[in-house]
Amino acid sequence: MPNRPYTLDSGDRLRVVVFGQDGLSNSYLVDASGYIAMPLIGSVLARGATADELSGRIAGKLRQGYIKDPHVAVEVEAYRPFFILGEVTQPGQYPYVVDMTVETAVAIAGGFGPRAYRKTVTLTRVIKGRQVQSTVPVTYPLHPGDTINVQERWF
């Protein structure tokens, strides 16, 4: 799974700053359909865009009769969660932390269960709208929205 620039999706919380426009600068949550809803311009598609691409989309909509030369900055305030299941102490959904690996995700979920296979896990990641599943080592870097499945070992 190659490393690509981070793309936004449902569950990401974004900080949008429109310079000189305090009423538009705010925190916005990317909704289930992949949009953020802003005053004046309404819904803007965030899913699949980088933060820079989204700031360009917002600026483009603001130029259409609202602000002559908008300067917009977008940054990720909180990433969408990751999911971990299988042979861990506390499977579930957890907040993503920057530079996280499978190993740190397992630690957050309370560690490996007694029957866990500890060398590799099955990782599911959405790439270009498609779910891709692969077996990866525990040192593998995670992305927000990833699903980790810790398998049971066979004696």
Q: Which two tokens stand for residue 42?
A: 């309404």
Residue 1 in this model has a pLDDT that exceeds 50? no
- CA–CA dist 109, 107 (Å, integer): 5
Write down the pLDDT at residue 2.
47
3-class SS of residue 63: helix
* Average pLDDT value for residue range 26-43: 94
The CA distances from residue 18 to 15, 30, 38, 67, 86, in Å, are 10, 17, 11, 10, 44
Choose between 135 and 1: higher pLDDT. Answer: 135
Sorted by where each starts, the structural domains of the chain and their CATH numbers stand as 13-78 (3.30.1950.10), 82-150 (3.10.560.10)
Question: Could you tell me the pTM of the whole model?
Answer: 0.78
